[in-house]
């Protein structure tokens, strides 16, 4: 017998299993397809906050997750012996209009209150940012010191190693039995099953496409310019992403939308133009109707739980999601924000 069975070996499932295992629970993870087989096996890995304004419980949850990320992923690496690629490298965003500059300066003021000195959101001259900085019409850029990067696939492999080091199991294939407390973290397929069962949209998959360049940018910051995200990784590559497609012909095939994104990325960062594209990736991200993670009691499986719907912010939310799910499943302590509950999407 095990204490906790997690169905789904994406980042939510693996991190929740790890949070339970580190508290002494015996855990089992099963996935019919493979480890990080869905969008958790992507290539971008940008962990960035919402703007520090109009503060609410959701932004506070995300902030706490991002602050906890360094310690969370460091422990995973230490126990399992594998690198996650985590680095709190910060982020640069160009400011291209005077109105955008006004907003950035206002947010710089509110960040002091909401981020409580644990991170900074400030406006600096683009020249201060060094060579790894997107062009800015105003000559100013936003620099935040909260953003980080993580290698998605390596992070999931590291979670598997840490779970196994704590005596847990991670298995590929269909589960014959589900023992103990059961958590469903099945991503897009789980959301589609819910939509079919309720006869209305509960969640779906949104396609994303991204590319990896063979360029070593060292510890350079993340940058985001419009819809172009550029994430330098610790392994000597740079990821560029990502599209957001509600309609598509093929979920896992790249197409002209990615090629257009690559062109725009090279315009933002001319250094990329001379680097080879070594991988192109496409996959579906689970988007609950509420756009927020879906956490808590499973709407259809009595006495069981769900952790789904990370969409674009899943990796950044992971430390917080894992801890509140472990609190609920192991201790019966419910700290899940109202907007994250399944009923918000039903």
Per-residue pLDDT for 275 more than 90? yes
Q: CA 69, 70, 75, 76 torsion: positive or negative?
A: positive
Domain boundary among 238, 265, 284: 284
* Averaged pLDDT for residues 169-198: 95
Residue 269 confidence class, pLDDT cut points 50, 70, 90: confident
In the predicted structure, residue 205 carries a pLDDT above the cut 90: yes
Instruction: Based on the fold, state whether residues 80 and 156 are members of the same structural domain.
Output: yes
Residue 244 lies in domain:
203-284
Using alpha carbons, list the distances in angstroms from residue 93 to 23, 129, 216, 217, 228.
Answer: 39, 10, 20, 17, 10
Indicate the number of domains in the chain.
3
Q: How many CA atoms lie within 13 A of 2 on its CB side?
A: 21
Final residue in a domain of this structure, among 119, 145, 171:
145
Q: Are residues 219 and 122 in the same domain?
A: no
Name the nearest CA neighbour of 42 among 267, 241, 175: 241
Q: Are residues 256 and 317 in the same domain?
A: no
Residues 191 and 215 occupy one common structural domain: no
One domain for residues 190 and 240 = no
> Could you give the count of Cα atoms lying within 13 Å of 258 in the half-sphere of its Cβ?
20
* b/e burial code for range 294-312 (CB count within 10 A of at least 16 → b): bbbbbbeeeebbbbbbbbb
End-to-end Cα spacing for the chain: 33
Domain stop point among 145, 165, 181: 145
* CA-CA-CA-CA torsion sign (320, 325, 326, 332): positive
pLDDT, averaged across the chain: 95
| Tens digits of residue pLDDT in 280-338 | 999 999 999 999 999 999 999 999 999 999 888 899 999 999 999 999 999 999 999 99
SS3 state at 104: helix
116 exposure class (CB count in 10 Å sphere: 0-12, 13-18, 19+): exposed
Strands 46-47 and 181-184: unpaired
Which pTM was predicted?
Answer: 0.96
Is the domain of 44 the same as that of 175? yes
**Confidence (pLDDT) at 225:** 87
pLDDT grade, residue 175 (50/70/90)?
confident
User: Is there a single domain that holds both residue 113 and residue 176?
Assistant: no
What contacts 56, CB < 8 A, 6 or more positions away?
A: none
Q: Does 133 have pLDDT greater than 90?
A: no
pLDDT of residue 130: 84
Same-domain pairing of 270 and 337:
no
Here the CATH number for the domain that contains residue 272 is 3.30.9.10
Question: Which pLDDT band holds residue 270 (cuts at 50, 70, 90)?
Answer: confident
Same-domain check for residues 58 and 159: yes
Give the C-alpha separation, 315 to 48, whole Å. Answer: 10
Alpha-carbon distance of 221 to 151, in angstroms, equals 14
pLDDT score for 176: 85
Per-position DSSP letters for 295-331, written without gaps between them = EEE-SSSTT-EEEE--GGGHHHHHHHHHHHHHIIIII
State how far the alpha carbon of 176 is from the alpha carbons of 30, 31, 216, 304, in Å: 10, 12, 45, 17
pLDDT at 256: 96
The tokens of 155 are what? 């992070």
DSSP letter string over 234-296? TTS-EEEE---BSS-S-SS---HHHHHHHHHHHHH-HHHHTS-EEEEEEEEEEEETTSS-EEE
The residue-averaged pLDDT of 53-69 equals: 95
Beta-sheet pairing, 181-184 with 305-308: parallel
pLDDT digits (tens, 9 = 90+) for 68-122: 999 999 999 999 999 999 999 999 999 999 999 999 999 999 999 999 999 999 9
- 104 and 251 belong to one structural domain: no
Q: Output the domain CATH number for residue 315.
A: 3.50.50.60
pLDDT confidence of 201, banded at 50, 70, 90?
A: very high
- Shared-domain flag, residues 152 and 129: no
Q: Say if residue 220's pLDDT is above 90.
A: yes
Does residue 131 have a pLDDT over 90? Answer: no
Residue 132's pLDDT band (cuts 50, 70, 90): confident
Q: What is the mean pLDDT of residues 26-37?
A: 96
- Give yes or no for a contact between 321 and 307, defined as CB atoms under 8 angstroms apart: yes
How many angstroms separate the CA atoms of 244 and 257, rounded? 10
- For residues 70 and 153, membership in a common domain is answered with yes
Q: Which residues contact 103 (CB under 8 A, 6 or more apart)?
A: none
């Amino acid at each position: 017998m095990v204490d906790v069975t997690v169905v789904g070996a994406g980042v939510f499932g693996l991190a929740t299993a790890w949070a339970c295992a580190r508290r002494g629970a015996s855990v089992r993870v099963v996935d019919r397809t493979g480890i990080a087989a869905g969008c958790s096996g992507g290539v971008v890995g940008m962990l960035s906050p919402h703007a520090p304004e109009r503060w609410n419980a959701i932004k506070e949850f995300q902030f706490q997750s991002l602050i906890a990320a360094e310690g969370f992923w460091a422990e995973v690496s230490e126990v399992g012996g594998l690198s996650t690629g985590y680095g709190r490298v910060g982020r640069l965003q160009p400011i291209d209009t005077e109105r955008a500059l006004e907003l950035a300066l206002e947010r710089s003021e509110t960040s002091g209150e909401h981020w409580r000195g644990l991170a900074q959101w400030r406006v600096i001259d683009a020249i201060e940012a060094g060579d790894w900085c997107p062009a800015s019409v105003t000559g100013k850029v936003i620099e935040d010191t909260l953003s980080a990067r993580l290698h998605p696939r390596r992070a999931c492999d590291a979670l598997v190693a840490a779970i196994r080091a704590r005596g847990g199991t991670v298995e590929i294939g269909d589960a014959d039995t589900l023992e103990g407390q059961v958590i469903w973290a099945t991503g897009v397929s789980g959301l589609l099953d819910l939509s079919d069962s309720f006869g209305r949209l509960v969640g779906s998959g949104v396609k994303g496409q991204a590319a990896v360049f063979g360029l070593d940018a060292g510890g350079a910051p993340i940058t985001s310019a419009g819809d172009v995200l550029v994430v330098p990784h610790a392994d000597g590559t740079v990821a560029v992403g990502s599209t957001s497609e509600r309609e598509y012909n093929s979920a896992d095939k790249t197409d002209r939308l990615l090629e257009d994104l690559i062109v725009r990325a090279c315009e933002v960062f001319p250094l990329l133009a001379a680097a080879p594209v070594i991988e192109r990736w496409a996959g579906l991200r689970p988007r609950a109707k509420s756009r927020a993670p879906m956490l808590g009691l499973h709407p259809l499986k009595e006495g069981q739980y769900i952790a789904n719907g990370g969409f674009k912010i899943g990796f950044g939310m992971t430390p917080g999601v894992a801890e509140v799910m472990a609190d609920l499943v192991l201790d019966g302590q419910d700290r899940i924000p109202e907007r994250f509950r399944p009923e918000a999407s039903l």
